[in-house]
Amino acid sequence: MKKRGRLTAVLLSGAMLCGIGTGCTSGSAQTYTWSNVAIGGGGYVTGMEYNPKEEGLVYARTDIGGLYRRKKDTDWVPLTDFLGADEWGYIGIESMATDPVEPNRVYFAGGTYMSDDAALFASDDYGETWTRFDAPFSCGGNQSGRGCGERMCVNPNDNKEVWFGSRDSGLWKTSDYGKNWEEVTSFPVKGNYKQESNSIGILWVTFDPASTDMYVGAAMTDGTCIYKSTDGGESWTALAANEPGMYPLHASFSADGKLYLAYSDNCGPNLSPTAGAVCVYDTKADSFTDITPDLGDGRQGGFGGISVDAQNPDAVVVSTLGWWSDNGDNLYYTTDGGKTWSGLFNLNTKENNYQMDTSRAAWLDWDRGENQAKTGWWVADVNINPFNSDEVMYGTGATIYSTENMTKIGTEPVTIAFDAYGLEETAVFKMLAPPSKDNSPQLYSIMGDLTGFAHEDVTKCPDDAHFMKNGKPTDLDVAFQNPNTAVYLSEEKTTTINFTTDGGATWETVKHKPDPATGGQVAMSADGRSTIWVPNSVSGKPYVTTDLGETWYYVEGLGFNAKIAADRVNPKVFYATCDGLFYVSKDGGVTFESTGQMVADAAEPVTVFGQEGNVWISSSTMIMYTEDGGESFQTVKTLPTVDSIGFGKGKKDNSYPVIYAEGDDGENGYGIYKSEDKGKTWLRINDDQHKFGNLNPKYITGDSNVYGRVYFCTDGRGIVMGDIAS
């Protein structure tokens, strides 16, 4: 019997009431367009696939940020924003497949962790709408071996068939363009290698273009890793075993029927391979040949991706995986089927055959000097453009790069350029957009892995000078009357507290802390002269400095784990919530006194720019606000579920700021809301096709300078930016 999954296909449309890229609510007078604050990737791009029939069509998958598409001469476009909080796990993309017969068809397997649900998705309109099949097996889009593949493949001889190799439940197949799937029980193995306790399973599926034969790679510890079928999957033959403990992570066929393979002694990327090989299998002779590059270049690690040129069956590119050299991972290129190779660099001879072009995302230089970025790390997949032999695209742990002249390697430097514009995958913690003054940044942000940025222009990737780099951040604040002055905290002992007075061009780390703890919360006065730090410690004792961290004083009047905020107008005033009460400081944060007003224990104060004494408090089921510095509060009951609130420029210069919120009004579902009348009425501005995956941590803010603009955090989709459609 063939094992079937749950046949519950659901139509998921990317174009509903307001159309692609807009958000609306019934009766809405405004529509929104959605984009990202430009960073330039920021996360792991685990795979890319060119369509062999339609020039310029290429897809990219990420480990926590969803699937992207790019067409000729355009930027990357996200395709999985229809997945929201209840389905965010599907945005970890295990594998994908573009149809070589009908380029409008595309597929992906979604499932971030093997402990969560997985699903197989199919589209016949380039990913604008999707049909979902709920899988009875697991995926691991953000786990060991996530750069292997592709595990999914369309049969070029009968494109109704799509095949998918799972991690723990063998080989699967659809014969109706992805509507229904069933297990191929004739396939003899499921893969028995585990890494970091995760099953790796089937590594890839591919077809011989010179015949109708099919090949599947599986992670088998005894080396019997490659299987062949000549009868459409009814029966299988194991090819000769490779060395036990070596795994063919990627495979690529040449037009004349030779299968090129990249091997490593583990499946990466969390564990770096220590050895690897490159082999070619001659299907006619039924023989393997070792063609591992041996250039005496100090190579370490294994091999990740491999790709054969569609225009030249003897031209092949392969990437290293786990080579933590000062240059990064290497690419090797051959035009004679692997008899001779050229590398991008040679550490032993100090020879470089490449030059980096990160001009569109200069932070990628990472303090190495202008356009001297590393070639990248965790390079698990490489792809030669089937229409342009000079273009080799590859993903890294931070972005996508493409070569511009790969065929000239050895005769001129290979230019490697940033190629991820439109693809954003950062996990964001917080951002602030203070009023512009003295050429101050448009936005400050903090996030995982990259620490954060001062964004001079939110539509352009940051430069290296405004890249924070140091530490895992926990909080951020800006002096709203002096916005070139800001502070951020990190969990690192050596970079816990960091100040800038030049708009993030330089940051000075506090050398002598008043407490050995790290992280925590921070609030900076409107003029930047006073800063309160509540460290992440068992005592929770807050401190205040009036000289950017040179000297510190105990803050009097606050108890354990107080939540703090600075008035955005009066530099002497701070606010706090603690033990269910509201507190005010009128001496720059030195002392606090309770106003006697009760608030929810978990409530956090949010202050309003341009409005002295205005503080809003939200605590999941309630919004309160004061306009007199906490002497009295009003309650807003029109948004019964609220996770975060923030403020942006009003429609007129003298109007009250627009309020933005993540929540649910009880009628229009969970989403992004705005109010232009102090919370009397709310308008949902996103729609159900633009949920943006995992909206964690819950943080939202408007733009102090641009009416209608909103920013909010995601865990893997970067800083989402919404603007009123023109």
Catalytic residue IDs: 63, 449
Three-state secondary structure string covering 126-173: CCCEEEEEEECCCCCCCCCCCCCECCEEECCCCCCCEEEECCCCCEEE
**The two three-digit tokens of residue 461, written as one number:** 């990737």
The answer to whether 531 touches 522, Cβ cutoff 8 Å, is: yes
Kindly list the distances between the CA atom of residue 350 and the CA atoms of 208, 231, 303, 344, 363, in Å, as whole numbers in the listed order: 40, 51, 21, 11, 25
The answer to whether 480 touches 524, Cβ cutoff 8 Å, is: no
Pairing of strands 414-418, 354-357: parallel
The answer to whether 581 touches 596, Cβ cutoff 8 Å, is: yes
Compute φ and ψ for 259, nearest 5 degrees.
-105, 115
Q: Is the peptide bond before 100 cis (omega within 30 degrees of 0)?
A: no
**The two three-digit tokens of residue 20, written as one number:** 């692609």
**The two three-digit tokens of residue 553, written as one number:** 């004083």
**Residues 114, 134: Cα–Cα separation, whole Å:** 14
Longest dimension (CA), the chain: 87
Compute φ and ψ for 662, nearest 5 degrees.
-100, 120
How many helices and strands in the chain, by DSSP H and E? 0, 61
Compute φ and ψ for 490, nearest 5 degrees.
-140, 170
576 DSSP β-pair partners? 564, 583
The answer to whether 200 touches 138, Cβ cutoff 8 Å, is: no
- How far from each other are the two terminal CA atoms of the chain, in whole angstroms? 57
The answer to whether 395 touches 408, Cβ cutoff 8 Å, is: no
Report helix, strand or coil for 465: helix
Residue 125 is given by DSSP the state: S
**Residues 7, 17: Cα–Cα separation, whole Å:** 28
**The two three-digit tokens of residue 710, written as one number:** 């909103």
CA 446 and chain centroid, separation:
14
The answer to whether 483 touches 440, Cβ cutoff 8 Å, is: yes
**Residues 278, 291: Cα–Cα separation, whole Å:** 5
Nearest alpha carbon to residue 52 among 387, 351, 364: 387
Nearest alpha carbon to residue 403 among 354, 364, 340, 369: 354
Nearest alpha carbon to residue 132 among 83, 169, 173: 83
**Residues 203, 107: Cα–Cα separation, whole Å:** 17
Those residues whose C-beta lies under 8 Å from the C-beta of residue 87, and which sit 6 or more positions away, are: none
Nearest alpha carbon to residue 42 among 380, 356, 644, 445: 445
The answer to whether 183 touches 174, Cβ cutoff 8 Å, is: no
**The two three-digit tokens of residue 302, written as one number:** 């294994």
Give the amino acid at 573. V
**Residues 8, 392: Cα–Cα separation, whole Å:** 39
* Strands laid side by side in the 581-585 sheet: 563-566, 574-578, 581-585, 593-598
